[in-house]
Amino acid sequence: MKHRFFLVTVSALALVACSSQTNSAGENASSNTQVSGEQSAHKEVLVADEAQFEKAVKDAQPGDVIVLANGEWRDFDAVFKGEGTKEAPITLKAETEGGVALTGQSSLRLGGEYLEVSGLVFQDGFTARNEVISFRVDEENLAHNSRVSNTVIKNYSNPDRTQRDTWVAMYGKNNEFNHNHLEGKLNSGPTMIIRLNTEESQENNHFVHHNYFGPRPVLGSNGGETFRIGTSHYSLTNSNSRVEHNYFDRCSGEVEIISNKSGGNTYRNNTFFSSRGTLTLRHGNGTTVENNLFDGNGAPFTGGVRVINARQSIKNNYFKDLTGERFSGGLVVMNGVPNSPINRYHQVDGAAIEGNVFENIVAIELGEGSDTERSAVPINSTFKNNVLLNEKEAPFTLHDDMSGIEFSGNKANQAPPEALSSGFEVSPGLTQEVDASKYGVAKEETGVRWFPKADAGDLFDTGSDVVVSPGENAISDALKSAKAGDRLILEAGDYKESKIVDLKIPVTISAKDGVEVNLSFERKNMFVFSKDAALKLEGVSVTGKQAPDNVGNSFITTTSVEGARNHVLVIKNSNFKDFVVNRSFSIVSAAKGTLFKKIKIEDSSFSNISGSVVKLNGETDDYGMYNVETLKVSGSKFSDIQGPALNVYRGGRDESTFGPFVWVKDSEFVNAASSGGPSVLFHGVQVLKIEGNSIEKSEPFKFIITTGKPAPVVEGNSLNGDVAATVLTIEDLRK
Ligand code: CA
């Protein structure tokens, strides 16, 4: 890093010019800064190392600007503490916007009054603290009337996904967070939080607006919220935060996109695009949700708003193409617990659900969660002047007595259930002009204008085709120069790999059309996935005969050592044979702390295997974590397998995940559990479909229910030719 130190005195008017920001809606104290020409001169100080930065912070007077020199600032544990004024805040900014990269174990803490930060990029690292950006230095030194804007945090995740941290934490009062870009958090803990843990941080009036919340992949346990305001402990206190004009793009970490756990908040004109889960009004009263756009884009598990507690207002929102059900419905009104403890479910009382448009919504769940504990039905509530347009039937499910919700003035094109019919005018030809500009916010109006938004996320076959001829290490050699999205096309012949392939990018490995390709490998694994690894394997025949005489070999496995992203594996038209050199040889396994977002096995066969074909039971702590979100097997044959042929484990009792989702269809299992146990074992799976399979010379499948209310779909299967036989045994551990 270059060592430069400038001390420049400019007029206060120049400060206004140089620090003007893309702030269109800021009304908080710090954003309407007006500086008159009468103000005293201020310093602009360019700092090039930590010592210079610390001195500049110590010396800073109201109106001063501290400029971080362009370049990489590694392991920069920055403390920005000062006392600016409303008229003359103290500013910390990058020499040029986006020109400063904070890497390694960098973080930023703010403390004091009227501080402004902008133009920074956090990347290539993770925080060693609990937070990357914190609006407090420590318990005694909080920030007030301060603002962070035009700042990026991307791929700044702790490589150990069980380690919990938060990227942005707001404390204090009257702070503002706007036009920032937060993308790709992979480890446990909300992306952003507003905390109310001391009086100094309550009734805080924070303003969070025009931010781009980029894709948050499935976490595979609780703790994957994109945003949380408050905690159950302080939830009867008001936060009075405003969350407006933010874009939530594929924020799918868990069942709560936003976990609202305090009172008096406003969510207005936000867009939720293709995001799993809901804006959950989990704790606290008197929150307003209005003019938002919930566009599920037809993606799985996408939801709208989940309502709990008193005096919640859900008005004039546009809900469309949401496919989620149960806790992830387009609208979910929960049952409460009578005299609920602070951390359970308070009764819905005085909810106003009015003037919304629901278009192609799979589920509106009323009285959701009703059971012997959650028996308090909604009261004093209204559902009025809403419009419902659905291609199929009306989306309502009544889980309990809904007489505490007054239905009136609604319009629909499909008839609602009888109990609600007096509150609806039904006209089959109903159409509704929806002025989309009234709802949500356009993506390009959010985030940081000089930093690109996330792309569509296509993994495979976006790069070049690379033709590979047979030979020793031909595949690993070709992969050395392969780029993300490339496709290796294998010519006919024998491929022998003597080294483990450390796969870090998405690639396709495919036999040339119709030719025979044989693959063998000499190490305990053929592929170890880390970072962005994803693999599509097509048309190859693989043998385990050359593998070493070790217990627990696996053709594909994962490691968390280099920071595991969510992986995808597709195996198609391939054959796997003779994986018996020692015990417990599997085809696909996963290290603890890693997650496959999707595994798809199609039209493939597996025979003579000493372990499991899919062995995803590494998460044994029962914390609700697991190794695969979606497993789909179709048109495949499993024979002579020690078993279970498929083994998926999700322990723990919490209700925060959608997965694992498992679908096995049109497949054959012959002698698929020669060890004598179940031929497949699904422990704690949340969604299970078993359709059109035949099981021969094997024990039935086994499903162990641990949490939620999974209702397995079991259709068209047979056991030893008997279509009436029980092919799935169920053990219920919930009691
Ligand atoms: Ca949660």
Cα 22 to ligand 1 centroid, rounded to whole Å: 33
Cα 238 to ligand 1 centroid, rounded to whole Å: 20
Are 248 and 226 contacting, i.e. CB atoms less than 8 angstroms apart? yes
Cα 287 to ligand 1 centroid, rounded to whole Å: 18
Q: Give every residue of the chain whose pLDDT is below 70, as ranges.
A: 1-41, 563-564
- Distances, alpha carbon 351 to alpha carbons 304, 354, 373, 404, 495, in Å: 15, 9, 21, 10, 65
Cα 712 to ligand 1 centroid, rounded to whole Å: 24
Token pair belonging to 328: 């992830």
Cα 447 to ligand 1 centroid, rounded to whole Å: 25
- What pLDDT, on the 0 to 100 scale, is given for residue 528? 96
- What pLDDT, on the 0 to 100 scale, is given for residue 15? 36
Comparing CA positions, the residue from 731, 726, 734 lying closest to residue 709 is 734
Cα 577 to ligand 1 centroid, rounded to whole Å: 42
Cα 372 to ligand 1 centroid, rounded to whole Å: 23
- Distances, alpha carbon 370 to alpha carbons 226, 285, 332, 688, in Å: 27, 21, 12, 22
Number of Cβ within 10 Å of residue 124's Cβ equals 15
CA distance 690 to 114: 60
CA distance 423 to 247: 34
Cα 343 to ligand 1 centroid, rounded to whole Å: 12
Q: Residue 368 pairs with which residues in a beta bridge?
A: 334
Query: Which positions ≥6 away from 375 have C-beta within 8 Å?
Result: 335, 337, 338, 400
Cα 223 to ligand 1 centroid, rounded to whole Å: 5
Q: Residue 275 pairs with which residues in a beta bridge?
A: none
Cα 693 to ligand 1 centroid, rounded to whole Å: 36
pTM of the model: 0.80
Query: Which positions ≥6 away from 224 have C-beta within 8 Å?
Result: 188, 216, 218, 253, 254, 656
Q: 223: helix, coil or strand?
A: coil
Cα 656 to ligand 1 centroid, rounded to whole Å: 6
Are 100 and 121 contacting, i.e. CB atoms less than 8 angstroms apart? yes
Token pair belonging to 232: 């159950």
Are 667 and 693 contacting, i.e. CB atoms less than 8 angstroms apart? yes
Cα 304–307–310 angle (5° rounding)?
150
**Ion ligand 1 nearby residues (CB, 5 A):** 222, 256, 656
Q: What is the largest CA-CA distance in the chain?
A: 92
Cα 241 to ligand 1 centroid, rounded to whole Å: 20
Comparing CA positions, the residue from 236, 280, 274, 235 lying closest to residue 255 is 280
- What pLDDT, on the 0 to 100 scale, is given for residue 536? 97
Cα 396 to ligand 1 centroid, rounded to whole Å: 25
How far is CA 345 from its chain centroid? 24
pLDDT tens-digit series, residues 679-702: 999 999 999 999 999 999 999 999
Are 135 and 116 contacting, i.e. CB atoms less than 8 angstroms apart? no
Cα 18 to ligand 1 centroid, rounded to whole Å: 41
- What pLDDT, on the 0 to 100 scale, is given for residue 452? 93
- What pLDDT, on the 0 to 100 scale, is given for residue 329? 97
Cα 225 to ligand 1 centroid, rounded to whole Å: 6
CA distance 716 to 724: 9
- What pLDDT, on the 0 to 100 scale, is given for residue 618? 86
Cα 384 to ligand 1 centroid, rounded to whole Å: 30
Comparing CA positions, the residue from 68, 225, 76, 212 lying closest to residue 153 is 212
Q: Residue 104 pairs with which residues in a beta bridge?
A: 125
| Residues making up the chain, counted from first to last | 735
- What pLDDT, on the 0 to 100 scale, is given for residue 619? 84
Cα 221 to ligand 1 centroid, rounded to whole Å: 8
Per DSSP, 326 falls in state G
Are 210 and 441 contacting, i.e. CB atoms less than 8 angstroms apart? yes
pLDDT tens-digit series, residues 294-320: 999 999 999 999 999 999 999 999 999
Comparing CA positions, the residue from 539, 502, 497, 549 lying closest to residue 519 is 497
Q: 693: helix, coil or strand?
A: coil
In order, the DSSP letters of 339-362 are: T--TTS-PPPBS-EEES-EEEEES
CA distance 614 to 622: 20
For residue 350, which amino acid is it?
G
pLDDT tens-digit series, residues 107-120: 999 999 999 999 99
